[in-house]
């Protein structure tokens, strides 16, 4: 920094001395926003030099303050650590001398300077021996704020075993553990199993954000879990009456209602409750707004042929993309529902050529069977079974476990 400053000063000195030596100082004209500044080269050079020196001094001062601030904070931190350590040592000495009152005071002082679990535990121990049960309870409460991963993991294992024989007791213990440690991944991962066994769907629904946030489950398990939980919640509300179900649906956040899984779960619940007309309207709104895809509706078996809006939606899609396998499958499925087996066979056969799947071949087999062609129906069913077999093989282990 100093060398650079010296070089700048030498250059500026040359600019000043040169014109003076030649007897011609020259001038500098600066015009900006209607203002004019006219000075000699010497004057301009002096102004530049002074500005550079001031900038350098300001930079040096700021660096100095920053360094002192860091040193000061480091010194204060070290001082606090020394005070905590001194109070801790004094507390241990008092404890050895059976002076529990002084011991508690010193451990409390150490905890105040730096909150650590051992300080709280020793302060509680001293309070208990002193006979101050209220102070001992307060220190136990403070101690419970510190996470104990090994203890929690052991409790999760115990709850998992307990759920096999006493599911309700396991549910209560799990919720108690999560109230102590809301972010424990093991407890959150166990929650779907324990809470679904006791049908505590509302408790599980409230835990879904934490399960997702803490990555307690793999991504491919989160969406099916969310769908199952919401479906059961919708069914429970629906059994209390349509008004209760509709109220619960509208209480959901607007963004949540536009989620494909949530909307499909709602429509599926309506279908189970015999409200197919309302379910079809829910599906059509989701398709029209792009909240869900036609493929998702087909996969959930929620395509309703009795709804004119859905029929028009599929027909419009086929007019735009006549070779689209999903629209062809939708047409075939609607034809099956309406009893037009010839149309169903043609549409599903085309769908199988464009986008083959177990579902398409199974429905094609149904169409052939309805048309009285058992051979082609058997062939289609066999192809559907081969897709199911391939899917099962992908999930099956490649090696046998070692014993």
Transcribe 204-263 into DSSP letters: HHHHHHHHHHTT-S-HHHHHHHHHHHHHHHHHHHHHT-HHHHHHHHHHS-HHHHTSHHHH
The pLDDT tens digits along the chain (403 residues) read 566 556 566 666 665 565 555 555 555 666 665 676 666 666 666 666 677 777 877 777 777 666 665 555 666 677 778 887 888 888 888 878 888 888 888 888 888 877 777 788 788 888 888 888 888 888 777 766 665 556 777 788 888 888 888 999 999 999 988 888 888 888 899 999 999 999 999 999 999 999 998 888 888 888 889 899 999 999 999 999 889 999 999 998 888 888 898 999 999 999 889 898 898 899 999 999 998 899 988 888 888 777 889 889 999 999 999 999 999 999 999 999 889 999 999 999 999 999 888 889 999 999 999 999 999 999 999 988 988 765 544 444 434 333 3
Burial class (CB in 10 A: 0-12, 13-18, 19+), 318: middle
Please tell me the distance from the alpha carbon of residue 336 to that of residue 399, in angstroms, as a whole number: 42
Please tell me the distance from the alpha carbon of residue 167 to that of residue 162, in angstroms, as a whole number: 7
SS3 37: strand
- The maximal CA–CA distance of the chain, rounded, in angstroms, is 117
Measure Cα distances from 101 to 85, 92, 110, 142, 322 in Å: 18, 12, 14, 19, 87
Please tell me the distance from the alpha carbon of residue 189 to that of residue 166, in angstroms, as a whole number: 19
Element (H, E) at 114: none
Q: Cβ–Cβ contacts within 10 Å for residue 33, how many? A: 4
Please tell me the distance from the alpha carbon of residue 349 to that of residue 353, in angstroms, as a whole number: 6
| Domains parsed from the chain with CATH numbers | 2-28+40-144 (1.25.40), 320-393 (1.25.40.10)
Strands 27-32 and 35-40: antiparallel
Q: 204: closest CA among 181, 232, 168?
A: 232
Q: Which residue has the tokens 């027909």?
A: 315
**Between the CA atoms of 195, 196, 200 and 201, what dihedral angle is there, to the nearest 10 degrees?**
120
Angle at 286 between CA 362 and CA 240, to 5 degrees: 90
Contact 101, 91 (CB under 8 A): no
pLDDT at 398: 39
Q: Which residue has the tokens 């999930």?
A: 395
Taking the whole predicted model, whether its pTM rises above 0.85 is answered as no
Phi, psi of 240 (to 5 degrees): -85, -5
pLDDT at 55: 80
pLDDT at 72: 56
Q: 361: closest CA among 348, 343, 375?
A: 348
pLDDT at 156: 86
């Amino acid at each position: 920094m100093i060398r650079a400053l010296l070089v700048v000063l030498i250059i500026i000195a040359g600019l000043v001395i040169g014109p003076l030596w030649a007897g011609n100082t020259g001038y500098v004209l600066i015009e900006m926003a209607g203002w004019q500044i006219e000075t000699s080269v010497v004057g301009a050079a002096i102004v530049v030099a002074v500005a550079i020196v001031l900038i350098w001094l300001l930079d040096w001062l700021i660096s100095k303050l920053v360094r002192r601030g860091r040193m000061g904070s480091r010194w204060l931190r070290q001082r606090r650590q020394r005070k905590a350590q001194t109070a801790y040592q004094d507390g241990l000495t008092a404890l050895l001398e059976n002076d529990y009152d002084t011991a508690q005071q010193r451990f409390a002082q150490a905890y105040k300077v730096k909150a650590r679990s051992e300080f709280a535990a020793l302060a509680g121990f001293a309070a208990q021996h002193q006979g101050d049960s209220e102070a001992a309870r307060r220190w136990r409460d403070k101690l419970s704020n510190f996470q104990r991963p090994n203890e929690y993991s052991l409790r999760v294992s115990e709850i998992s075993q307990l759920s096999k024989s006493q599911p309700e007791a396991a549910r209560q213990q799990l919720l108690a553990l999560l109230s102590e440690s809301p972010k424990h991944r093991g407890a959150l991962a166990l929650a779907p199993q324990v809470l679904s066994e006791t049908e505590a769907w509302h408790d599980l629904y409230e835990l879904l954000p934490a399960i997702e946030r803490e990555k307690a489950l793999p991504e491919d398990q989160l969406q099916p879990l969310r769908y199952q939980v919401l479906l059961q919640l919708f069914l429970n509300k629906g059994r209390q009456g349509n008004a209760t179900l509709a109220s619960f649906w509208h209480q959901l956040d607007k963004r949540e209602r536009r989620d494909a899984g949530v909307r499909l779960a709602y429509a599926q619940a309506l279908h189970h409750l015999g409200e197919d007309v309302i379910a079809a309207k829910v599906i059509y709104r989701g398709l029209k707004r792009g909240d869900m895809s036609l493929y998702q509706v087909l996969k959930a078996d929620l395509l309703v042929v009795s709804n004119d809006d859905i029929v028009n939606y599929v027909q419009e899609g086929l007019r735009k993309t006549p070779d689209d396998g999903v629209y062809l499958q939708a047409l075939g499925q609607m034809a099956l529902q309406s009893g037009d087996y010839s149309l169903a066979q043609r549409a599903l056969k085309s769908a199988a050529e464009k986008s083959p799947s177990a579902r398409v071949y199974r429905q094609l087999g149904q169409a052939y069977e309805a048309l009285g062609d058992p051979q082609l129906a058997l062939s289609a069913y066999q192809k559907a079974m081969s897709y199911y077999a391939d899917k099962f093989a992908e999930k099956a282990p490649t090696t046998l476990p070692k014993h």
